[in-house]
Amino acid sequence: MTYPAALLCHDANLQTSITAGTANDWGAGAGTPVYTAIKCRFGTPRETYNLHDSGERLVKSPVCIVPAGTAATVGTKLVGVTAPFNKTYVIKAVNPALLASSISHLVLSIEAVE
């Protein structure tokens, strides 16, 4: 069973590519990001603990659930449209949620950048 579409209650824009742009004096193009509108679900996973020299530290990073087959890659941006998630995020990890013979959905580990 795939992730139910009714639970994807938030909207976001996912960066899918960058246009080449026109070349400057040094031959480098100033690219423009291309975004695609998607349905998703923002949330916070369970707490995890990282062990450091100074002791344990609680880590709670936000996640975004998107349908299987979404072209999400590490390092691209995700712009939330629905409040209170209307921020710009960078994708830190893409984790597939596996079923017995297919992928149900993707869980994106994200970090706010703006």
Domains of the chain by start residue, with CATH: 5-18+33-112 (2.40.10)
Q: How far is CA 11 from CA 89, 93, 107, in A?
A: 13, 19, 15
Q: Identify the pLDDT of residue 46.
A: 65
pTM for this model (two decimals):
0.78
List 29's β-bridge partners, or say none.
Answer: 23
Angle value at C-alpha 90, between 84 and 93, nearest 5 degrees: 110
Going by pLDDT thresholds of 50, 70 and 90, the confidence category of residue 88 is: very high
State the SS3 of the chain. Answer: CCCCHHHCCEEEEEEEEECCCCECCCCCECCCEEEEEEEEEEECCCCEEEEECCEEEEECCCEEEEECCCCCCCCCEEEECCCCCCCEEEEEEEEEEECCCCEEEEEEEEEECC
Q: Mean per-residue pLDDT for 2-25?
A: 81
pLDDT tens sequence across 17-68: 877 667 777 777 777 888 999 999 998 776 677 777 777 777 778 899 999 8
For residue 79, pLDDT beyond 60:
yes
